[in-house]
Structure 1
Amino acid sequence: MARLLYRLGTFAHRRRWAVVITWLVVLTLAGVGAATLGGSTSNTFSIPGQESTIALDKISTQFGAGDNNASARVVLQAPAGQTLTTPENAAAVGTLVDELGRLPGVVNASNPLNPQAPGVNADQSTGYSTVTYGVPQGGVSAAQQDALLGAVDQARTSGLTVEVTGTAVTNQGQVPAGAGEAIGVILALLILALTYGSLVVAGMNLLTAGVGVGVGVLGITIVSGFVDLQSTTSVLATMLGLAVGIDYALFIITRFRHELQRGADVPTAIGVAVGTAGSAVVTAGLTVVIALVFLFVAGIPFLTQMGIAAAATIVVAVLVALTLVPAILSFLGLRALPRRRRNAPTVPAGGKHAVEAPGFYQRWVGAVTRHKVIAVLVTFVALGVMAIPFFSMRTTLVAVPAEGTTQARAEQLLADGFGPGFNGPLTMMFEGPDAAAQAQGASGSLSGLTDVALVTPPIPNADGTAALLTVIPQSGPTTEATEQLVHDLRAVLPTVTSGVDTYVTGATAVSNDVASALNAALPIYLAIVVGLAVILLVLVFRSILVPLVGVLGFLLTVGAALGATVAVFQWGWLSALVNLDSTGPLISLTPIIVIGILFGLAMDYQVFLVSRMHEAHAHGAAPLDAIRTGFRQAAPVVVAAAAIMFSVFAGFVPAGDGPIKSIAFALAIGILVDAFVVRMVLVPAALALLGERAWWLPRWLAWLPTLDVEGAGLERDRPDAPPPARELVDAGER
């Protein structure tokens, strides 16, 4: 692999203009395609084949497609001590309803004071108008949303309290994205500038990462014109693509600068950098792609789409790192080095200072490997304590609007006026020749279930072959009581009906079905992804125990990351630090997405850190010397990469919404734990405990190919290569 990538790097140097122009053309074509072919995204989640999804499809067929159209619920509350039925307030309600009915895109607006279909609570202080649009959910334009909000603002001048919620205004009132992400990128630039000692090289690193993310996200936008993608797909791809794009370029640039300082000319330095660091980039990128692509085992189409889209962005980031980065380095040449080092004497490849590293890292790894038993025990205890909240984690797909928005105020008015369960009704569908009568007969039994506040009269379809029954819970849609009610309804309905098929759906029912599917798929997903990664790492390190140590560290990372996320987002600890509006269950997608992404990134750090230890050991260093030498070489770059990745992920937390906020937080904490605790403490301490056994490979696996990720073959082929035993470990270390 190293020799192949060496040739790719030298090709990028020789054809640097062609490489740069090719990427600019690709980026331009992607932008044109996104502008002309891109479509809208969806904010709804469902799983084909689940009871709740089947019910929604049947309701659409039996009762009309309008049931799945976008709608809004305009909530009105009379001034204190008054009712909506007073002449003045009733006139204001009628005026608002007329205005809502004339809004662009609206096909119907109900009147809460209509005696045939009232929409007011018992004391007539609170009511709602259902505004139905003629397009599916997610299809309401920004102009139509603005018109609706303008009508609501105008209605407030009458003295009524007026707020709006519903699928037609899903994206309104959220904190604008961009500021937090910009801060993350600025922090990344500062870290890169400090790492390189050059603002030009730092800017070049960000530029190449931006090209990769741009191509990937614009490609996703093009696909959205042909496939129904979730709105979070491009955000996840941006977040992950930007982080790994910066890091992969960092590894190659760092190795390029190292080769220049060893006295190599620019073409050779580029070839060696791509052949060595590029090999590790390919291996690391492959682990991330494996983790993302295999999200399909969950059997959830929108999760599969997210994984494939993010994986495609990672592939683009790897290609950019292997081609565009060396092409631009060819233009920079010696200017990639700080000015004070450009004319400094070069250090021979086998010289004493060839692996010079900051004294801090020498002292750190020395302390960790001397006190290896204590380091391992403290790491296990500390991360185990962090993981404790994980065991009380609850998940949901029911979206909770941000506090202070009109959606949140509208839902609070409905909860106060009609009860908390009014915001999360459950729909029963009866299908059969006697559906309406069966639904009517079941009403009494359903009313007696725990947490049922109200059962509405059944609504038959046109030919009487189906009927709908609505159950209003006493509790809110994200509570455990409502989740249990879904299970109770599904258990009771078959026992109180005969000759009809029954289905339970609604936001909480869909959430339960998704959670069940994810819980069933998670062990299979872990087994497949971890198994494939262990096989890959065995090939890379030709060891059994090193991959197992890496995987064990990953499990500790995931437990700590999800435990901290539960403590903040579910329990409310330190919630102000992340600009959290309200606490509650995590989005159901959080665990599996965090596990998938963190696994790939954790294996990145394992590859970049341990490959240098393996390289030292392969060149004759004793096990402990190899650990310390490899750590000193790789740790500074891994620390910089982790700090950059943390900055990027953390930038999505303050202004994030929905699943992105909790996922970004979990990833940021996971990066801190994995890079600075697991890889910097646990891994060197555990390998020091294992000693020579760490590099043990059974004889029956000796036939496995050598991938040469470290580029040892390239090093031996160099005319200035020193004797192997002294290439990485000087006499003082030995």
Structure 2
Amino acid sequence: MAHLLYRLGRSAAALGWRVVVAWVAVLAVAAGAFLAFGGTLVSTFSIPGTETDRVSAQLAQELPGASGATGTVVFRTDDGSAFTAEQRDGVAAALADVGGLDGVSSTVDPFATAEQTAAQTRQLEDAAAQVEDGREQLDAGQQQVDAAAAQLEEAGVPLSASPELSAQQEQLDASRAELEAQAAQVEDGQRLADLASGIRTVSEDGSTALGVVLFTQDQFSLPEEVKSSVVDTLEAADLPGVQVDFSSEIASSTEGILGPGEIIGVVVAGVVLLLMLRAALPAVLPLVTSLAGVGIGVTASLAFSGVVEMASVTPALGVMLGLAVGIDYSLFIINRHRRQLREGVDLRESIGLANGTAGTAVVFAGSTVLLALLALNLTGIGFLGTMGTVGAVCVLVAVLMAVTFTPALLGVVGRRVLDRRTRPRGAHVDRSRPMSTRRAVLGVVLPVLALLVVAVPALSIRLGLPSGAQEAEDTTQYRAYTATADAFGPGQNGPLVVTADLPEPVAEDAELATQVELAEQVASFDDVVAVAPAGVSADRSFFAFQVVPADGPASASTEQLVQDLRALDPTVEGAPGDVAVGVAGAASGNIDISDQLADVLPVYLAVVVGLSLVLLVLVFRSLLVPVLAVGGFVLSLFAALGAVTAVYQWGWLADVLGVTSPGPVLNFAPLLLVGILFGLAMDYQLFLVSGMREAYVHGTPARRAVMAGLRSGRPVVLAAAVIMVSVFGGFVFSHLAAVKPIGFGLATGVLFDAFVVRLVLVPSVMHLVGRGAWWIPSWLDRVLPDVDVEGAALEREHPPAATSRGVGPADGARPAADERERELAGRR
């Protein structure tokens, strides 16, 4: 690998502008493909086979009209006064226009619904009054019949002798039975109306109204263009004095993929590069390489969005990864090249050697990230696998750009990669001293304790999907959510659909009573605000209800309510057997997705860690170093999850970090953090520890080699980590609610892993272990292929590079070091 990359680097440097133009052409083709074939991104997440998916499918079969997705449109008067007649008519006309759009089955006019509800209430009251009047009339008639019967009895005439009186009594009995049946119907209707009284479409002060849009397709298959047409139609409506906002089921935005926060992150990365490299031109090169790579990777991936369903967060993930690793990988090669130039190595020879040594480490580091991202496809979760694949494409492009585009740029700029004050200074022999044992012990104990403390909040982590409450305050989703919660209660933002599948159909005259019986059992839970019938199947064996919970869809109480409803075992008079209860809706879907993601997390972690352990054993030819690498990653991962939980669930530093409303942590964030942070952690492990191993195999004593590798790799690792933290941190202020916790988790994860684990904990443990860090069974050492990630074989063929590397024996090196090196060379 090192020799191949060496030749590739020299060729790219020689071709220079041709390679640059070729990559620019690739960027143009990718952008053109995106413009020609790219589709729309989706804002919903689904996993086939969940309980919510099953109930939704049953709804589609039994009640086709109730199976489509629904979205809420919030209408508010600008001055907070009640809607005027003209404004009500305008809202009705606008919703009627929306009802005619393709993909929309119907709309619900809030004012007409309120009037219908009021009319039904009056009808029930009138019917109840009529029942009472009927009872009074029947009672009066009964008194007349009873009086006549008493007179006959006094006269000694049997009642049978008066057929007219007997007929009157029979008629009274029949009328009373009919009236009582009507009274039961009215009473059931009143009970249902009382159960549904908590559902309103117009606020009590008349200033806010909720329109409903019913779509022909379910929430997870609804095309984005249908929702966009609804938004465009209502925003174009003539509604003077009325503000229109849309719930997250209708309004979805991809704004914020590259916003001010992300741009600031790139600017900070540029400042770090300038401070490290101390010259403007070399500081610009990694940024150019990274931005070009991001453009190619993201646009090429999005070109397939017309045929592959991609979530709106997918390109943001690609941008995050492409920027971060693209800058870092290019920086590693440029830094090695600059150091060799300062030691007097020829320009093109230095470019080739930097590509063959640092470039080899880049390829293996990128391989660990690719492995972790592509392994997301093993979870069986479609949208997550797509996100992993897009991220992997962006990382692959970053690696290819680093080992081809970067050498070409270095060939073009020549020795201007160094400032004029820099002069060749000859070889340098590292004279690092090993750290003290006391410092090493503290370097193990303090980081472990600190990371464990930060990880404590992760013990109470709760997973879910962001609701409108977590969106940015200036978004229509946030305004719609808060306006609905203020005027109608938070539960109106996430109503549930509860179904009851009876073992046998009920009689036609028992349908209403069965609805009441089921609704009252559903309403018996404390966190249920209202229950309203949503439909009955044609054979009267399947009943559906709309249930409004007390809290929003992301609340812990609503999550518990879903679990309680699913465990409900209702009884229905006249329908023997078990009644199967199902729950669907946004809250239900979030719970199912979170549960399945939590189930696959251990499997995914085991696969990624297992395969990476094998790769690390190959790279480092050691057993302890890979185990130490993975153990440190686990500490930094849980610390990052703890920080995410404290900020986004507990609300710590909410005002500083722009958290509008604390809630559950994004349910697929832990999986993404595992995949991405593991790959990046192995990057830093590789770049840092490979320098220690290189010094060790060249004869430096084990403990001194630790410090030699640390001092040579620390500046570039520090710069790379700061760059990653700044790039990822920029996404903390994204307008996409799903992007914020990912950016924050990655930023804090890199911060903990690079600064605490790799630069403090790992060197301390390796110092305490000494030569044991490089122990490997002899039989395993013989069978393992030599991947030579540090390019030692290449350096032996190019002695000036080895000298410039400063890896000659330090003072006090063991005489046996040369023999060890010859032995290693013989194995190779």
Match of 1:182 in 2: 263
Residue 448 (structure 1) aligned with residue 524 (structure 2): yes
Q: 1:715, CA displacement in angstroms?
A: 1.1
CA distance in 1: counterparts of 2:403 and 2:805, whole angstroms: 30
Residue 195 (structure 1) aligned with residue 276 (structure 2): yes
Residue 661 (structure 1) aligned with residue 740 (structure 2): yes
Match of 1:40 in 2: 40
Residue 427 (structure 1) aligned with residue 506 (structure 2): no
- In 1, are the aligned partners of 2:429 and 2:806 still within 8 Å (CA)? no
Call closer, same or farther: CA 1:565–1:480 in 2, change over 3 Å: same
Call closer, same or farther: CA 1:153–1:592 in 2, change over 3 Å: farther
Match of 1:89 in 2: 84
Match of 1:731 in 2: 811
Residue 525 (structure 1) aligned with residue 604 (structure 2): yes
CA distance in 2: counterparts of 1:490 and 1:144, whole angstroms: 34
CA distance in 2: counterparts of 1:222 and 1:502, whole angstroms: 43
CA distance in 2: counterparts of 1:164 and 1:312, whole angstroms: 34
Match of 2:759 in 1: 680
SS in structure 1 at match of 2:545: strand
Call closer, same or farther: CA 1:495–1:394 in 2, change over 3 Å: farther
CA distance in 1: counterparts of 2:804 and 2:406, whole angstroms: 30
Match of 2:568 in 1: 492
Q: Deviations over 1:349-401 (max 9, x none)?
A: xx3x2559xxxxx7xx9657651111211111111111111111111114233
- In 2, are the aligned partners of 1:629 and 1:729 still within 8 Å (CA)? no
Among 352, 377, 380, which residue is 2:445 paired with? 377
Call closer, same or farther: CA 1:166–1:556 in 2, change over 3 Å: closer
Mean CA deviation greater in 693-702 or 719-728 = 719-728
CA distance in 1: counterparts of 2:224 and 2:604, whole angstroms: 31
Residue 470 (structure 1) aligned with residue 549 (structure 2): no
- In 1, are the aligned partners of 2:435 and 2:767 still within 8 Å (CA)? no
CA distance in 2: counterparts of 1:390 and 1:512, whole angstroms: 18
Q: 1:14, CA displacement in angstroms?
A: 3.3
Counterpart residue identity of residue 384, structure 2: L
Q: 1:688, CA displacement in angstroms?
A: 0.3
Q: Deviations over 1:231-255 (max 9, x none)?
A: 1111001101110000000001111
Structure 2 unmatched ranges of 5 or more = 119-199, 815-828
SS in structure 2 at match of 1:653: helix
SS in structure 1 at match of 2:303: helix
Match of 2:359 in 1: 278
Mean CA deviation greater in 489-498 or 479-488 = 489-498
Match of 1:148 in 2: 234
CA distance in 2: counterparts of 1:175 and 1:716, whole angstroms: 49
Match of 2:251 in 1: 169
- In 2, are the aligned partners of 1:539 and 1:706 still within 8 Å (CA)? yes
Among 298, 307, 310, which residue is 1:217 paired with? 298
Match of 1:550 in 2: 629
CA distance in 2: counterparts of 1:129 and 1:280, whole angstroms: 58
CA distance in 2: counterparts of 1:724 and 1:247, whole angstroms: 22
Counterpart residue identity of residue 422, structure 1: Q
- In 2, are the aligned partners of 1:421 and 1:475 still within 8 Å (CA)? yes
Match of 1:540 in 2: 619
Match of 1:4 in 2: 4
SS in structure 2 at match of 1:505: strand
Call closer, same or farther: CA 1:494–1:229 in 2, change over 3 Å: farther
- In 2, are the aligned partners of 1:77 and 1:413 still within 8 Å (CA)? no
Match of 1:318 in 2: 399
- Give the number of the structure whose alpha-carbon radius of gyration is greater: 2
Call closer, same or farther: CA 1:636–1:29 in 2, change over 3 Å: same
Q: Deviations over 1:484-535 (max 9, x none)?
A: 1111111115776847764311111111111111111111111111111111
CA distance in 1: counterparts of 2:2 and 2:571, whole angstroms: 67
SS in structure 2 at match of 1:517: helix
Q: 1:656, CA displacement in angstroms?
A: 4.0
Among 486, 496, 515, which residue is 2:594 paired with? 515
Match of 1:330 in 2: 411
CA distance in 1: counterparts of 2:504 and 2:76, whole angstroms: 38
CA distance in 2: counterparts of 1:121 and 1:719, whole angstroms: 82
SS in structure 2 at match of 1:492: coil
CA distance in 1: counterparts of 2:66 and 2:524, whole angstroms: 32
Counterpart residue identity of residue 408, structure 1: Y
CA distance in 1: counterparts of 2:281 and 2:424, whole angstroms: 23
Among 308, 314, 334, which residue is 1:227 paired with? 308
Match of 2:210 in 1: 128
Match of 1:110 in 2: 108
- In 2, are the aligned partners of 1:266 and 1:334 still within 8 Å (CA)? yes
Structure 1 unmatched ranges of 5 or more = 357-361
Match of 2:26 in 1: 26
- In 2, are the aligned partners of 1:619 and 1:725 still within 8 Å (CA)? no
Q: Deviations over 1:170-216 (max 9, x none)?
A: 339x7785111111111111111222222112212111111111111
Mean CA deviation greater in 563-572 or 540-549 = 563-572
Using the aligned pairs only, state the percent identity. Answer: 41
Among 567, 573, 594, which residue is 2:673 paired with? 594
Q: 1:548, CA displacement in angstroms?
A: 1.1
- In 1, are the aligned partners of 2:435 and 2:707 still within 8 Å (CA)? no
Call closer, same or farther: CA 1:435–1:241 in 2, change over 3 Å: farther
Match of 1:717 in 2: 797
Residue 620 (structure 1) aligned with residue 699 (structure 2): yes
- In 1, are the aligned partners of 2:245 and 2:480 still within 8 Å (CA)? yes
- In 2, are the aligned partners of 1:251 and 1:637 still within 8 Å (CA)? yes
Counterpart residue identity of residue 755, structure 2: F
CA distance in 1: counterparts of 2:59 and 2:420, whole angstroms: 70
Mean CA deviation greater in 714-723 or 524-533 = 714-723
Call closer, same or farther: CA 1:476–1:505 in 2, change over 3 Å: same
Among 92, 96, 99, which residue is 2:94 paired with? 99
Call closer, same or farther: CA 1:680–1:270 in 2, change over 3 Å: same
Mean CA deviation greater in 269-278 or 143-152 = 143-152
SS in structure 2 at match of 1:7: helix
Call closer, same or farther: CA 1:629–1:25 in 2, change over 3 Å: same
CA distance in 1: counterparts of 2:275 and 2:234, whole angstroms: 50
- In 2, are the aligned partners of 1:70 and 1:134 still within 8 Å (CA)? no
Residue 339 (structure 1) aligned with residue 414 (structure 2): no
- In 1, are the aligned partners of 2:90 and 2:239 still within 8 Å (CA)? no
- In 2, are the aligned partners of 1:530 and 1:551 still within 8 Å (CA)? yes
SS in structure 1 at match of 2:552: coil
- In 1, are the aligned partners of 2:95 and 2:234 still within 8 Å (CA)? yes
Q: Deviations over 1:60-99 (max 9, x none)?
A: 455448854574422447987x8x6xxx734422222213
Q: 1:297, CA displacement in angstroms?
A: 3.2
Match of 2:788 in 1: 708
Call closer, same or farther: CA 1:722–1:569 in 2, change over 3 Å: closer
Q: 1:650, CA displacement in angstroms?
A: 0.8
SS in structure 1 at match of 2:787: coil
Match of 1:359 in 2: none
- In 2, are the aligned partners of 1:423 and 1:477 still within 8 Å (CA)? yes
Q: 1:467, CA displacement in angstroms?
A: 3.9
Q: 1:547, CA displacement in angstroms?
A: 1.0
- In 2, are the aligned partners of 1:538 and 1:544 still within 8 Å (CA)? yes
Counterpart residue identity of residue 240, structure 1: L
Q: 1:11, CA displacement in angstroms?
A: 2.5
Among 392, 406, 410, which residue is 2:480 paired with? 410
Q: 1:413, CA displacement in angstroms?
A: 3.4
Q: 1:612, CA displacement in angstroms?
A: 0.2
CA distance in 2: counterparts of 1:453 and 1:77, whole angstroms: 26
CA distance in 2: counterparts of 1:166 and 1:706, whole angstroms: 54
Call closer, same or farther: CA 1:330–1:215 in 2, change over 3 Å: same
Match of 2:454 in 1: 386
Call closer, same or farther: CA 1:733–1:544 in 2, change over 3 Å: same
Q: 1:15, CA displacement in angstroms?
A: 3.3
Q: TM-score when scaled to structure 1?
A: 0.90
Q: Would you say how many aligned residue pairs link Structure 1 and Structure 2?
A: 711
